[in-house]
């Protein structure tokens, strides 16, 4: 598969999983966490699809398109390992959709970051929440959910928090 095909498949899988999670949460109460603003593509997708939802965004730096930078009250700047606990103190356990797009070119480091932030996300995830990520997020708090049709296993990761 060419690198172009692989790139397109990755982004198609990401969009399909985001859309499936958005449908799954429906009108349940709760806020959204976008972990990894990057250039703001997926943040823009989430806010367009859910205009009424509060979305809190995390990154260590702002590198996004100027139209895709959240206001200060919805931005946690710094390392995820510090900003997620700070967000838990402020927001509590009321995230109904969490998207963690955190990968870099370093596969081992990206996996290890996923494992490190999984319990921090678990502390914020409401019952019935959907959690999705480009990295596996190991946790007893949630279970894997079937991927949308056409998304290859392992290309994206979608989870469901029981208890709703
Ligand atoms: C793959 S990009 C996100 C792409 C974004 N979702 C988009 O659609 O444009 C990953 C982002 O995670 C951020 N990041 C990676 N590790 C981090 C860490 N430990 N703490 C805070 N931010 C981190 C990087 O700065 C980068 O902006």
Q: Summarize pLDDT for 60-73 with one digit per residue, the tens.
A: 999 999 999 999 99
Measured from the Cβ of residue 154, the count of other Cβ atoms closer than 10 Å reads 9
Residue whose CA is at the smallest distance from ligand 1 atom 27:
38
Residue 106 burial (C-beta neighbours within 10 Å; 0-12, 13-18, 19+): exposed
At residue 164, the pLDDT reads: 61
What is the tally of structural domains in the chain? 1
pLDDT at position 1? 87
Containing domain of residue 82, as a range? 3-161
* Mutational pocket test of ligand 1: of 18, 32, 34, 36, the residue with most ligand atoms within 8 Å of the beta carbon: 36
29-56: pLDDT as tens digits? 999 999 999 999 999 999 999 999 999 9
Question: Quick one: pLDDT band at residue 109, thresholds 50, 70, 90?
Answer: very high
CB atoms within 10 A of CB 2: 7
| Average pLDDT rounded to a whole number, residues 90-117 | 97
The answer to whether the pTM exceeds 0.95 is yes
pLDDT band at 122 (very low <50, low <70, confident <90, very high): very high
80 lines ligand 1 (CB under 6 A): yes
Nearest CA to ligand 1 atom 20: 79
CB burial of 16-43 (b: ≥16 within 10 Å; e: otherwise) equals bbbebbbebbeeeebbbbbbbbbebbbb
**Alpha-carbon gap, residue 144 to 57, rounded angstroms:** 24
The pair of three-digit structure tokens given for residue 28, joined into one six-digit string: 């349940």
| CATH code (residue 55) | 3.40.50.150
Structure letter (DSSP) for residue 153: B
Residue 159 has pLDDT above 90, yes or no: yes
Measured from the Cα of 44, ligand 1's closest atom is 8
Find out whether the beta carbon of 105 lies less than 6 Å from any atom of ligand 1: no
Query: Could you tell me if the CB of 103 is within 6 A of ligand 1?
Result: yes
């Amino acid at each position: 598969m060419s690198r172009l095909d692989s790139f397109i498949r990755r982004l198609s899988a990401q969009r399909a999983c985001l859309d499936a999670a958005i449908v799954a949460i429906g009108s349940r109460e709760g806020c959204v966490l976008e972990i990894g603003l990057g250039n703001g593509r997926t943040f823009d997708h989430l806010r367009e699809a859910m205009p009424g939802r509060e979305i809190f965004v995390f990154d260590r730096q702002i590198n996004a398109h100027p139209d895709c930078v959240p206001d200060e009250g919805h931005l946690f700047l710094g390392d995820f390992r510090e900003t997620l606990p700070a967000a838990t103190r402020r927001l509590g356990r009321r995230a109904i959709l969490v998207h963690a797009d955190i990968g870099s070119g370093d596969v081992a480091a990206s996996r290890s970051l996923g494992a490190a932030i999984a319990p921090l996300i678990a502390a914020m995830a409401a019952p019935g929440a959907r959690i999705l990520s480009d990295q596996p997020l190991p946790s007893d708090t949630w279970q894997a959910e079937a991927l949308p049709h056409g998304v290859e296993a392992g290309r994206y990761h979608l989870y469901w928090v029981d208890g709703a």
